[in-house]
Structure 1
Amino acid sequence: MKDKMNHVEHRPDTLLRARVVADLLGTTEGRLANMRCAGVGPTFIKIGHSVRYRVSDIEAYLNANTIKPVTA
């Protein structure tokens, strides 16, 4: 995942298309659409009929969903 994010311009306000985000997250555009309808997943922006995601929102989503193992 981090390797894929390196290929994305790293300005936090850069807007990404759903297909790019789906590839970054290892899912499909359809699954992203389902997540939007269910009110889960990364924060997104609607511009007319188009959906866009900020790079900073994708990073925040990944950080919020990162689970660190408990060490014994």
Structure 2
Amino acid sequence: MNASTAAGWQPDPLLTIDDVAAWLGKPKNTLYAWHSRGKGPRAIRVGNTLRYRRTEIERWLDAHTDPER
């Protein structure tokens, strides 16, 4: 990574389970169930909590979007 790239780089925000539940319109318990079953968007365990990268949520949504007709 060169100096100009490093200066413009921003980390991908980590979203809480509350953020993701509100975004997807799903209960938190559904997200916890998906995580325990290896389904749903990939999450990161930080201590006792789950965090989600915004890009992972968008990637998961893209993968589950109905094909164009």
Band the TM-score falls in, shorter-chain normalisation: 0.7 to 0.9
Which amino acid in structure 2 is aligned with residue 46 of structure 1?
A: R
Equivalent residue for 1:3? Answer: none
Equivalent residue for 1:14? Answer: 13
Partner SS state of residue 32, structure 2: helix
The runs of at least 4 consecutive aligned structure 1 residues that moved more than 2 Å come to none
- Structure 1 residues 7-42: Cα deviation after superposition (integer angstroms, max 9, x where no partner): xxxx67100000110110110100000000111000
Q: Which is greater in Rg? A: 2
Q: How many Å separate the matches in 1 of 2:52 and 2:31?
A: 11
Equivalent residue for 1:26? Answer: 25
Q: TM-score, normalised by structure 2?
A: 0.80
Equivalent residue for 2:7? Answer: none
> Please, which runs of 5 or more residues in structure 2 have no aligned partner?
1-9
Equivalent residue for 2:34? Answer: 35
Q: Identify if the C-alpha distance between structure 1 residues 55 and 14 changes in structure 2 by more than 3 Å, giving closer, same or farther.
A: same
**Paired residues, what number?**
60
**Percent identity of the aligned residues?**
37
Q: TM-score, normalised by structure 1?
A: 0.77
Partner SS state of residue 52, structure 2: strand
Equivalent residue for 2:65? Answer: 66
Partner SS state of residue 40, structure 1: coil
Which amino acid in structure 2 is aligned with residue 43 of structure 1?
A: R
